[in-house]
Each structure stands twice: as C-alpha cells, then as structure tokens.
Structure 1
Amino acid sequence: MPAPGPSPTLLDAVFAQRGRHAPGLVGDGFSHSHDQVFRAACARAALLVRLLAEQRAPYPHVGLLLDNTPEYAYWLQACALAGATAVGINPTRRGPDLLRDIRHTDCALVVTGRRRLPLLDGLALTVPVLDSDSDGPGYAALLAEHRDAAPPAVLPAPDTRVLLTFTSGSTGAPKAVVCSQQRLARAGDKLRTMYRLTADDTGYACMPLFHGNATMALWAPMLLAGGTVALRPVFSASGFLEDVRRYRAGYFTYVGRAISYVLATEERPDDADSPLRLGFGTEAGAVDAARFEARFGCRLVEGYGSSEGGCNLRQDPAAPAGAVGREGSGPDDDLAVVDPETGEERPRSRFDASGRLLNGAEAIGELVNRTARAGFEGYWRNPEAGAARVRRGWYWTGDLFHRDAEGWFHFAGRSADWLRVDSENLAVADIENILGRWPEAEAVAVYAVPDPVAGDQVMAAVQLRPGADTVAAGLARRLAEFLAAQPDLGTKMPPRFVRFVARMPATATHKTAKTGLRAERWRTDDPVLWRPYGTAADAGAGYRPLTGDDLEKIDALFAEHGRTAWS
C-alpha cells in the first residue's frame, strides 16, 4: 500500500474550486458553483488588499458580523488568499462588549449585513463598515471594480494567521484564539478523512460560522473534500429536516441544545427518510443522541474539545457509559488527569456496581495534554492567558475529568468561575457585573447549575437592599425590566434561576462562598424566581416564582434525559 501523500493546504483547497461547476454553496434562493465561489473570494481578496493599504492598518484583520450567508464563506476564503485574518464576531454580544471585541482584535474593517447592522448603532467605531446587503453605491460598487480580479500574485505561507475565534475563559472578557491556515487545514483534513467526506457530500451548516464548531468542523472539512456547503442563516429546529432533504445533506455539526430543539419538533412517520448519515458535535447528551438516531436514522458522534485545539477527545462506540473518549486528537498526544496544583497524576477512578463513582475526591483533577503546546497557537493580545494555558510545557484544559482503570476519560465538571450555556462559555464575572448594577441588589453571586440535557444553566443569588419590595410578582417584573434594559447583556447571560438570600454567605476572608449555593441548586427555603424551560426562543421570557409543582417537573425533565441535578 503506497504511503499517504502530503496533507493538502487550505490554499490547495481554495484553488481546487477554480473551473469546477458543481454546487459549492447552496441555500434558500441561491446555488453557487465552486468556480463562482472562487471568483467571489478573489474579488473580495483584491478589495481587501486595497482597503488595507488605504487604511494603513497595522493588522490585516477583518471582523465578520454576519449570519451564515455566502458572504461569510467568500470572506473566509478571501482572507486565506490575501494572508489576512477573519475575526468571527459573536452577534449575541451587545453594546460596549461588542465594541470591545472589535477593538481588542484590531479589526481594520467590519463586514456585516442588514440584519446585524443595527448592532453597531451608537458604537464609536473608527474603522470602515461594509454592509454586504447594501443595494446602494457602496459595497456593490467597490466589488464591481474587482469583479474579474485574479488571485494575489504572492500567496501567504501555511503558518499565516487566518482566524481569530472568540472563546470565554475563567474570568474577564472573551479571549480571541489564534488559528493559522495550517491548523485549520489539519483540523478539516482530519475530519474529512475520519468521516470519509467526498466531493459528492453536502454538509449542512446550521450552526453559526463565527463559532469554531461550524468553521473548523464543517466548513473546513467540506472545503478540503470539495463538497457542497448548505447554509442556514440562523439555526431553525422546525426547518432542520426540510433543509437536509432539500439540499441532500448527509453531514452536519451541532453544539449545545440544538439536538434537543430538533427532537422537540412534531414527530412524523417519515422522519427517518432523509440523506443524513452523521452529525458531529458536543453536549447533545446520551439520551438525546440515542433518540435522534432512532428517529432520524442518523448517528451522532460526540466529542470533547475547544477552539484552542490543545486537547480533543472523540466518542468511541466501545466506550462505557459516561465516558468521553480514550485517545487524543493526534498520535503523539499524552493526555492525563492531574492535580492542578502539583501536576501529579491522579489515581484512576473506581465505580460500584451501579456505576457510581467511589473515589471522586482523589480521582478528579484537571485534564492536561503533556505534549508541548499540543497545537495551541495562543491568544491574541493576551500573553498572560496563554501562559496560564501552557505551563510546564503542558496544555491545561481548565476542565475537570477522571480516568478509569481502562483508560477512559470521564468529564467531571468545569471551573467554578465559568459556565457553559448552549455550548458557549460565559464568564461569571461578566454576569455578576451586570446584575450588580441593579439598584435593588446589595450583593450578587452567579454560578453554574446543571442543564437537564447538557452543559450548564445560569443561576444567581441576590441579596436585596434593605427596604426593597419583596412581593414576588413585582420583583419578577422589575428584574425582567432591568435585564432587558442592559445593553451588554448577551442573549445567553440572563439567569435561569434567581435565588433571594437574606444574607450572602461568605468565607473567613470575606469572599462569597458559592459552594453551598451551588450544592443546593434551586431546592431551598429562600424565594426563587425562574424562567421556565421552553423553546430555543425563550430567552426573553419573564420570571415567575418557582413552585413545588415546578420542582417536580424539573426533576422529571432531568429523568427524561437520563440525568440528575444532584450527582
């Protein structure tokens, strides 16, 4: 058997589109061939080079504040051709936080569309903003000048930075993860090979392209395979099956609760009649994954990883219940569970006959990759965070795991200072700072509580100021009105549960003691307001008092998904 050839580069895949008339990008109302995509990318690369020269920008960074439209794919490839960096701007960020993200990543220009343009209103931006939906003389006229542009004469090297992807750390504002062309190509080629994606396949991009899941696990592997990418502007559970049938999509990616939202749609006798064969993602939950396969005839492959790329685990069919995986992302990975303070490897975990962990206190530690850097390329303008991530020559994930006697890794939780909602990491400090502005709040503590399906939900404990009106109905209304008025409150930040304590628990050093709050969850004699679980669009729902009937329904919801809130 001949030895495998060298792995393709990102530019190899971009240039392979030239002259190909098979569909490259499809979606509602459009179908563009690979050659059309290539020409569109060349035009934008030429425009980009011109604008950067006019700006005399110190960094060739392009902020993409876009839904999943052809423009997003065009600009990703334009950046690759021009040696520039695409910055995925998270549209759930608001006001000062959104402005901070754009400034922190040194964007020389921002490309947006009609739906997202209002998010920039009132922000003190000092860089050009291109409205890609404009019918006026601006964007269209600029592109017309470069319609027949050739690819750049000098092409970037494989180690050129091509992406900055935001991810939240344990404290402070989101960090921008650096990703080079060669790392993006490696990630895409690995999945292309693993899941046997070819030019005949269509990948359904229903997750936002600003997120590493869609860019690294769908767009990149489909580009390297020469296949078709079907774009959904924003995720729609009700439109999911119709889309995959219309575009003949066999592969898709997902994060967070997307799978549970699809499962919540009305069942039909022909649900399994679709081309879907594989979904790849995180946090679907074992129960929902089994239900999805039974209903739609499509296997879900769960993985553990991060935008940083320092450690990745993928689900193995042979894994015992609850295990994430046993091997790392590369043949040279050296994964271990260690004491976060000493670096000493933790003892292997042991279980009783019912599968309950017996020695969690000694077995649980932080997951590390002891391979130097392990593919991590750093954070933009945040060397301190990068140094914290890479210590002793190891990559530290910041996540808690334990490893059993057979070598299987089991996820045990996340750092107490951050949480993960719908596969988006949120810094506790950011939410506490916002809630702390509420005039009625004397003290605030925010912490993670389990979600019935996967990941976390946001819970807050609030100590009210003396004399505050504590009538539940009025309190719920005023809290909802306050949160709705905060310009920097992201769509995933509003607490699911708000507990009102007479006095905030504190340690001897006067720090807020969250351990007891987190352990009690929502089962407490203190008054609790909550936003009931519902559809994906319930973030704006009002608060109401948590009742005994609600508690029973919550327990039943956890049981339905094979989970417990009290483990």
Structure 2
Amino acid sequence: MAPNGTSARGSSGASTVAELVRAQWGDHRVGAMYGDLVLTHHELAGGAAARAALLGELLPRDAPPHLGVLLGNVPEYPLWLSAAALAGAAVAGINPTRRGPELARDIRHTDCALLVTERAQLPLLAGLGLPLPPERILVVDDPAHRELLAPYEGATPDEITAGGRGGAGAPTPASRMLLYFTSGSTGAPKAAVCTQGRLAAAGHSLAGYLGVRRDDVHYLCMPMFHGNAVIAGWAPALAGGAAVALRRRFSASAFLPDVRRYGATCFTYVGRAVQYLLATPPAPGDRDHSLRCGFGTEAGTVDAARFAERFGVRLIEGYGSSEGGAAIQRTPDTPPGAIGRDAPGGDLAVVDPETGDELPRGRLDPAGRLLNGERAIGELVNRGRSSFEGYWRNPEATAARTRGRGEGRAGAGWYWTGDLFFRDTEGFFHFVGRTDDRLRVDSENLAAAMIENILARYAPAAGVAVYAVPDPVAGDQVMAALALRDSAAFDPDGFVAFLAAQPDLGTKMAPRFVRTMAALPVTATHKVHRVALRRAGFQCPDPVWWSPVAAADPAAPARSADPAGRAYRPFTTADRTALLALYRAHDRTALLGR
C-alpha cells in the first residue's frame, strides 16, 4: 500500500483543516455516500462554505465560536465539521446517549453558542432549559433549515476564509477545531481540545501510515461525536483525497452489506465492535468484499487473528491518546501482540505510577507470554514534548495529566497517559489496559486486559470483561463477565479445565466470580462499560458463579494458587448474605458499588 496523501489540489502541505476542505473545491469525484445519497468532493466543499457563511451570521461575537453537533453519522456531520473549519469555529461532539441534566451539562460546559441537531434527537432536548434561544438550535432535516441556508448557497471556501460572506478570516493552525469528550469511566466527561493544526497533522500522518489512496472509501460506522471516527477515519480520508461512507450508527449485521455497497476499503473500530462482527453467523461470502484494513484499538490478539482468518482483513492496532499526548508507531517488524515502537525523537517510557521510576523490560517466552508482569507493567508516559492541548475549562484535569505523581511529584511535566503498558527487550510497547483497570490481588498488581486476553480463548464466550470487586478483607478479587455464544449454558467443569490448560494464567488471575450474560454492556463508543460492571459486582441480576473455599469461614474467598484446583458453583442468595456480612465485619461495605 503505497502512501498517497495528496488530493486534487495538493493538500499534502495543508497546515489547517480549512485548507484541506478548500482543496476539495473543483474535485468532482465521489466524496461521501449515505444510502442512496452521493455527494462529490466539490459539493461537500460548497455545502461546507454555505454553512460556514451561516455560522458567520449566527455565532455571537462576544462568545467562543463553538457549536454543538448532536447528530447521528449522517452527511450533515462532516458538512458541519468542514463548515466549522472554514469559519474558524470549533465543534463539540454531543453524545446522544447522554440524558437529562448530563446532556445539558455537556452543551453548557463547552459554551455552545449554537446547536446543530435533527428531529430524531429533539425529544432528548425537551425540558432541559438549554442556555440557547430557539433560533440557535438548527434542525438539519426540518424544511426551515433549508430556507435558512438558501441565502448562502453559492458561497465558496476561498470566499469564507478570505473573510467574505460572514467569514472571520483565514483560520490558523492554532484555531480550535474540536472539543470532544473523552470516554472517561468516572466523573463528568472532559472535553479535550484539538486545534486545526493538530487535526490536519493527524490526518496527514494517518493517510501516510495507512497508505490512503484517492480511490479509497473510508467506512465511518463508529460515532462521529467521538475522536475515533473523526481523527482516525474522517481526517485521513480528507487529507488523502478519499471518500467516506456513513452509517448512522454501528450495525454488525449491516457491516458487510454496507462495505460491498459502497466499495469500502478501510474502517475504524474499537474492540467491542470487532467482537460484535465476529459474533455474526459465518457465511460463505465473508471474504467477498473490498476491505483492505481496519484501524483501531483494543481488538485483542485473539480477536484480531479470528477476524483476519474469517474476513481476510488485517486489523492494524494503533495507539494514540485521544488528547494527543503520546503515540506509538507500528513498524513492519512489530511482533504479534505489540503495538509498535516510540516515534523517532520521542521519549516514551513505562514507569511505576507512584514513583515515576522506569520499570524493567518485559521478558517473553517463545510463545509470546509475559514472564515478569508483576515487575514490568506500569503506566506509559511521554517524557518529551507532546501535542496535548488541554481540556476545555478544566485546569485541574489538564494539570493532572502533566504534574507528576507520588509524594515527590515524580514526572512533573510529563504526559501521563493513564494506560498500562510493558516494553519488551526489543523495545516494542505492549498495551495492557487502563490504570483504572488495575487489580490488586493478595498484594500483587494485575492488569484486567491481560486476564481478558487469556479468557478470550474460551471458545463458548463471544465477549469477555474482567474487573475488580473489593475483597472483603483487603485488596481486590477478580470478577469476569462472559457473554456466551447463542445463549449457551455455562459449564463450570469445562471452564475449570480451560483455566488449567492456560500456561500463562498466573496464580492470582483466575476469576473468583463469573457473571454470565447474553451481551456485555457497552458505552456509546462501543467500549465495554466496565464502570457499570464494577458497580454491580456480584450483586447483579444475571447468574453468577463463584469459587469459594471449604474453610472455617464459608464466605471467605478461595486462596488456592492452582486454577485447576478450583470448583465453581452458583452464587446463591445465602452466599451473598454471608459474604455481605463479612464485608460489614471488616468495615468494607462502602467499597461495594464503586
């Protein structure tokens, strides 16, 4: 795949997203597809210019030029992204799965002076008391919206960026472009700032990395209110002069039909979406498509191999923090299971989260299994310059990313990713999990993602999530949620046999509790909703199996060091009552449900 990052007017040198949009003008190739609707690059640029001119009239001069976009993945989304770029405004992607005061909070927090939405989303806004007058809520599929745009039809991108037709002058690389909420697991979401310069640079970099060609079609099925679809899908397509095909929301059953219909060659993903696709019934035509690659995160080695075997498509695991603070480059010699190496001139390291000390390199056996995880796994930091541009109106969270850790503030000025990694003896970085997915079992630190990678080999499970539940005495216990294929029944003896056959399952890794489910809960960005799983713990509506120990205290968790010696039985109401009494006896009840 030879990189080709140029479009019809040589956008490879563009330093702003506005320049990339302007480069579409005069290009009459297909630029976007959605159902039966087909728009050329030229039509996209013209539509963006008209909307940018409207923005110039509607955005108040005494407030930040921010517009919220509350839409599904419909053509209006990239049109308004492009319009904001031309007008020097910033788009706040509003998550339609948020509700009530939390939804209103997101709009208010990002100082949206304008809200672009559609009729399907209007019930979400009813009664919220938004800080916006009705005339600044634009409903794109309402006939009144077309009438509002009519006077601005015919505006050109050059005219807008030159300051005419309501334009404020040419945007610069430092102009804010995106305010996108990170998919944090706790607390109010943080709105990360991304400037036009950073987004354009990311587009160019990924266009080269993925070998984007002008005849490519990027299938955008991940939600565009999140950075995954915009930064890793739309931006490289724009920089490389490729087309995009849109799906309002992800659908596993519609995935291959869409790919075939649009001739899609690339798509972005998160790990849970890959699991959904693998869970669809196999068919003889699974390899009958135009896809060349998928690019995303957290697919896992097992699922990536299954995907390649079934669909004939290579999944390229990337790593780049949403905030832009750290990135890892995949090289041709990157071994299976690894993400890649530090970029040239970079200074990434894996350090102890408390002291900031760099940790020993991870040692792998011939099968690629980590032998010294208890010493090698730590937090990935960037000790050099980063492109982190902060969080909007959240100086505390911004400072927390860079002010260091531990009593002596070790690592002040570094960018702390919040992600667990280890670095092998050859210098390759391996993703392990999130810092909030860390478990401490019998004084040993474990990473949930590593246990998940092992349990993913359990054939009856279509999806696996591992998380901590508090131990009634000290530390954590391991709990696993298994989404069983075709509503299969859980076989406790078979599961024990499976655990015993895994040579890389550490003595503390076997789950104490197993929750069986039809499907794992997911966030709006199709990531496993571990917060919901942790909060429910073993007090959930689904069947739970556990491995107690035959000891003087029947509620005490098993401490057997041999997974093969375990036995799982249903977790009954009597078990729960006895276990909760033990939490109370040790004054740890308050830890449950967090």
Q: What's the TM-score, normalizing by structure 1?
A: 0.75
Q: Which residue in the other structure is 2:40 paired with?
A: 33
Matched, 1:523 2:518: no
Q: Which residue in the other structure is 1:11 paired with?
A: 18
Q: Is the 8 A contact 1:280 1:303 kept in 2?
A: yes
Q: What's the TM-score, normalizing by structure 2?
A: 0.72
The CA distance in 2 between the partners of 1:29 and 1:552, in whole Å, is 53
Of the three residues 369, 378, 389, the one matched with 1:377 is 389
Change (3 A) 1:25 1:182: same
Q: Which residue in the other structure is 2:51 paired with?
A: 44
Give the CA deviation at 1:548: 7.8
The CA distance in 2 between the partners of 1:418 and 1:52, in whole Å, is 45
Q: Which residue in the other structure is 2:151 paired with?
A: 145
Q: 259-268 or 68-77: which moved more?
A: 259-268
Cα distance per residue 1:203-244 (max 9 Å; x no partner) = 111111111111011101111111111111111111111111
Q: Is the 8 A contact 1:531 1:543 kept in 2?
A: no
Matched, 1:275 2:264: no
The CA distance in 1 between the partners of 2:363 and 2:509, in whole Å, is 26
**Partner AA of 2:375 in structure 1:** E
The CA distance in 2 between the partners of 1:261 and 1:351, in whole Å, is 30
The CA distance in 2 between the partners of 1:379 and 1:397, in whole Å, is 14
Q: Which residue in the other structure is 1:405 paired with?
A: 425
Give the CA deviation at 1:321: 4.0
Q: Which residue in the other structure is 1:245 paired with?
A: 260
Q: Which residue in the other structure is 2:537 paired with?
A: none
Q: Is the 8 A contact 1:170 1:415 kept in 2?
A: no
Q: Is the 8 A contact 2:437 2:468 kept in 1?
A: no
The CA distance in 2 between the partners of 1:195 and 1:70, in whole Å, is 24
The CA distance in 2 between the partners of 1:143 and 1:552, in whole Å, is 64
Q: Which residue in the other structure is 1:387 paired with?
A: 399
Q: Which residue in the other structure is 2:247 paired with?
A: 232
Q: Helix, strand or coil for the counterpart of 1:544?
A: coil
Q: Is the 8 A contact 1:165 1:210 kept in 2?
A: yes
Give the CA deviation at 1:52: 0.9
Cα distance per residue 1:426-483 (max 9 Å; x no partner) = xxxxxxxxxxxxxxxxxxxxx978656599848686xxxxxxxxxxxxxxxxxxxxxx
**Partner AA of 2:518 in structure 1:** P
Percentage of pairs with the same residue: 54
The 5 A counterparts of 1:305-344 are: 305-316=320-331, 318-328=333-343, 331-344=344-357
Matched, 1:357 2:370: yes
Of the three residues 104, 107, 114, the one matched with 1:102 is 107
The CA distance in 2 between the partners of 1:196 and 1:354, in whole Å, is 31
Change (3 A) 1:548 1:383: closer
Q: Is the 8 A contact 2:362 2:373 kept in 1?
A: yes
Matched, 1:66 2:95: no
Q: Is the 8 A contact 1:256 1:455 kept in 2?
A: no
Of the three residues 207, 213, 224, the one matched with 1:198 is 213
The 5 A counterparts of 1:437-452 are: none
**Partner AA of 2:129 in structure 1:** A
The CA distance in 2 between the partners of 1:399 and 1:326, in whole Å, is 16
Change (3 A) 1:162 1:406: same
**Partner AA of 1:412 in structure 2:** V
Q: Helix, strand or coil for the counterpart of 1:416?
A: helix
**Partner AA of 2:541 in structure 1:** Y
Q: Is the 8 A contact 2:463 2:519 kept in 1?
A: no
The 5 A counterparts of 1:79-118 are: 79-118=84-123
Q: How many residue pairs get matched?
A: 467
Change (3 A) 1:166 1:553: farther
Give the CA deviation at 1:506: 6.7
Unaligned 5+ runs, structure 2 = 1-5, 164-168, 404-411, 440-446, 457-461, 481-507, 533-539, 548-566, 571-594
Q: Is the 8 A contact 2:296 2:317 kept in 1?
A: yes
**Partner AA of 2:355 in structure 1:** T
Q: Is the 8 A contact 1:401 1:413 kept in 2?
A: yes
Q: Is the 8 A contact 1:322 1:410 kept in 2?
A: yes
Of the three residues 217, 222, 229, the one matched with 1:214 is 229
Q: Which residue in the other structure is 2:434 paired with?
A: 414
Q: Is the 8 A contact 1:166 1:175 kept in 2?
A: yes
The CA distance in 2 between the partners of 1:99 and 1:505, in whole Å, is 39
Change (3 A) 1:111 1:455: farther
Give the CA deviation at 1:148: 2.1
Q: Is the 8 A contact 1:171 1:418 kept in 2?
A: no
Q: Which residue in the other structure is 1:186 paired with?
A: 201
The CA distance in 2 between the partners of 1:126 and 1:456, in whole Å, is 42
